[in-house]
Amino acid sequence: MRRKLHRGFTLIEVLVALAIVAIGMAAVMGALTSSANTISYLRDKTFAQWVALNQIANLRLSGQQPPTGNSDGDTDFAGRSWHWRQEVVATQVPGVERIDVSVRPADLKAGDDQGWFTTVSGIQGDALGTPNPAEPLWGAQTLSGLPGGTQAPTPTSPPAPAPSGTPKSGSP
């Protein structure tokens, strides 16, 4: 009498295969967790930079010279509370001050020199023009070489039309 041979996996082979799948899944989960943490950190770092840039813009738009030294405060931005520290120092250029703004989440308790997500620098002073978004003066300047000290044409103004009957340059 002949016995049929049943072919299949042994228990040890199945356990080895499950162990390999489990190790692979753990590696994939670790990579996904790392990516999620990186995205969260970069989002918070970007928001911190925006808070710092907003603080510098508010100082410049106020038109007032901030006193030199350190100051700090809290602000809400993007559904989160942020703590900022501002340092204003005089530069070697008379009438110009450098503003350094450091930002971190308000719930992060750290020392004065630790835990900052970003530091952004800007300048302000009497030697700089007052920002006026209503009337930008891009490229407008007085040239002493032109007769009567007239202004050079600005890049935003269209060129003057040629008189009628006069051929334009490059025409046959």
Are the beta carbons of 101 and 52 closer than 8 angstroms? Answer: yes
Higher pLDDT, 94 or 54: 54
The token pair at 144 is 């002493």
Q: What is the mean pLDDT of residues 23-44?
A: 94
Which SS3 state, helix, strand or coil, does residue 71 take?
strand
Sequence-distant (6+) residues with CB within 8 A of 101 are 52, 55, 56, 84, 85, 86, 87, 119, 120, 121, 122
Unique residue bearing structure tokens 């080895």: 16
**pTM of the full structure:** 0.60
Q: Is 68 left (phi over 0), alpha (psi -120 to 50) or beta?
A: beta
Distance in angstroms between the alpha carbons of the first and the last residue of the chain: 108
pLDDT, position 171: 47
Long-range contacts of 135-142 (CB under 8 A, 24+ apart): none
Burial of 103 (0-12, 13-18, 19+ CB in 10 A): buried
Q: What percentage of the chain exceeds 70 in pLDDT?
A: 72
> pLDDT (tens digit, 9 = 90+) per residue, 104-138?
998 887 777 788 899 999 988 876 666 666 665 55
Q: What fold, for 11-129? A: Pantoate--beta-alanine Ligase; Chain: A,domain 2 (3.30.1300)
Domain boundaries, the chain: 11-129
